[in-house]
Amino acid sequence: MYIAARLLLEVPLLPHKREPAQARMTQPPAKPRRWLLAVDPRVYHWDTLFVKGKEMWRHAGNKPDALRQLKQAHKGDRALCYHGKGEHSVYALAEISRDPYPDPHHPDEKKLVVDLRAIERLPRQVTLPEMRDNKALRKIKFLKNPRLTICPITDEEYAEILRMAGIVASPGIPLP
């Protein structure tokens, strides 16, 4: 009788234990983040991504700051693709198509990579001096240190850079 009474008491607890899992399933997915990814075009040109359509991006480096930022990138996030050195301009748009994972071609498991999917080349490249002159973009860390390979940007900064490139949101049509 003691066991039966105990079982009766435990049965109502089971749905209670399931509630958090059910609640998690009904929550909307996390809002996608925006990133600025920079590469040296002599080492990797963003046109390579457009030729292949999708590619593993291995150019974040192994500095702790870059790895920390890369760990925060997730599938579905959008990225502005920046060319350093000769061009110094935002060149294209891409989407992160896979969460960060260890680089299969590198012996150190701490080195991370993400897969990128090409979205579109910008109608007009936005140069580094133009971004520095724009007051709406003053808080971007990359503008203070252009040697960064990955930098988070806000939705407002993302929209402003796209506006400077010639892409403007229309009513009912979101930005890419």
How far is the C-alpha of 71 from the C-alpha of 44, rounded, in Å? Answer: 21
The C-alpha angle with vertex 60 and arms to 58 and 65, in degrees rounded to 5, equals: 150
pLDDT of residue 116 exceeding 90? yes
Interval 46-102: pLDDT, tens: 989 999 999 999 888 878 888 899 999 999 999 999 998 888 899 999 999 999 999
Question: What pLDDT shows up at residue 16?
Answer: 47
pLDDT in tens, 14-42: 444 444 444 444 555 577 899 999 998 88
Quickly state the pLDDT bin for 159 (edges 50, 70, 90).
very high
Distance (Å) of CA 26 to CA 76, 116, 176: 19, 28, 26
pLDDT confidence of residue 65:
87
Give the total residue count for the chain. 176
Q: What Å distances lie between residue 109 and 33, 62, 67, 72, 96, CA to CA?
A: 25, 11, 12, 17, 20
Residue 95 pairs in a beta bridge with 78, 117
Name the CATH superfamily for 31-165: ph1033 like domains (3.10.590.10)
**More confidently predicted of 110 and 155:** 155
> Is a pLDDT exceeding 80 seen at residue 173?
no
What confidence score (pLDDT) does residue 146 get?
84
Q: Which residue has the tokens 């109502």?
A: 12
In eight-state DSSP terms, residue 91 is: E
Residues 6+ apart with CB under 8 A from 54: 97, 115, 116, 117, 118
Residue 171: pLDDT band with limits 50, 70, 90:
low
Q: Lowest-pLDDT range, 76-80, 112-116, 137-141, 170-174? A: 170-174
pTM of the model: 0.77
